[in-house]
């Protein structure tokens, strides 16, 4: 049976540079793409007042259908995008309210792909992904950094992505 994977894209534009990377990963893995920008997902709320937005149905669908979750985020101000961070903040709903979903995240695999304009990614960028996976009992498979040059994915980045995909699936 083949591994079921999902690419969770957290860019502030649906068809920008991060999408180019998500698309390349999709073409080389067969994984589905979820575009967080197309969803209505509110900021974490201590009173869970946004339980009727798109977050709970989305995370429920992810835990039901996939074994590997690859987070693909642009680098915005040296960190993950705001859209991606809100998604992580909302995982708190699954620890406090929708506890079955939280339990079902355990044992799943996760990985992260960053897309910046710089070739260099500052040390520590991956820490929230690594530590969140640890906290949630998920298996962190690793990460790879990407960038776009003149609207194209450079050959080195393509090779790094193919090597990465080969090691995780």
**Contacting residues toward ligand FMN, per CB under 6 A:** 11-13, 16-18, 74-78, 115-118, 148
Least distance in angstroms from the C-beta of 148 to ligand FMN: 5
Choice between 20 and 92, CB closer to ligand FMN = 20
| CB atoms closer than 10 angstroms to residue 104 | 16
Contacts of 38 (CB under 8 A, 6+ apart): 14
Least distance in angstroms from the C-beta of 24 to ligand FMN: 13
Choice between 36 and 69, CB closer to ligand FMN = 36
How far, rounded to the nearest angstrom, does the alpha carbon of residue 65 sit from its chain's CA centroid?
Answer: 15
Least distance in angstroms from the C-beta of 76 to ligand FMN: 4
How far, rounded to the nearest angstrom, does the alpha carbon of residue 78 sit from its chain's CA centroid?
Answer: 16
Choice between 39 and 108, CB closer to ligand FMN = 39
Choice between 17 and 26, CB closer to ligand FMN = 17
Question: How many whole angstroms separate alpha carbon 116 and alpha carbon 79?
Answer: 10
Contacts of 11 (CB under 8 A, 6+ apart): 17, 18, 19, 35, 37, 72, 73, 74, 81, 83, 115
Choice between 65 and 117, CB closer to ligand FMN = 117
| CB atoms closer than 10 angstroms to residue 16 | 15
Least distance in angstroms from the C-beta of 122 to ligand FMN: 8
Least distance in angstroms from the C-beta of 116 to ligand FMN: 3
């Amino acid at each position: 049976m083949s591994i079921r994977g999902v690419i969770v894209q957290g860019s502030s534009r649906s068809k920008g540079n991060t999408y180019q990377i998500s698309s390349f990963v999709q073409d080389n893995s067969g994984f589905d793409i979820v575009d967080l920008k197309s969803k209505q997902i509110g900021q974490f709320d201590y009173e869970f007042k946004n339980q009727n937005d798109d977050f709970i149905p989305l995370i429920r669908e992810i835990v039901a259908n996939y074994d590997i979750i690859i987070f693909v985020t642009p680098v915005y101000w040296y960190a993950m995008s705001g859209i991606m961070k809100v998604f992580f903040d909302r995982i708190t709903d699954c620890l406090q309210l929708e506890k079955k979903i939280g339990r079902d995240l355990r044992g799943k695999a996760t990985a992260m792909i960053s897309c910046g304009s710089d070739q260099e990614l500052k040390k520590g960028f991956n820490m929230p992904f690594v530590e969140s996976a640890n906290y949630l009992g998920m298996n962190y498979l690793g990460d790879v950094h990407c960038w776009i040059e003149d609207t194209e994915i450079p050959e080195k980045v393509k090779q790094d992505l193919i090597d990465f995909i080969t090691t995780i699936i």
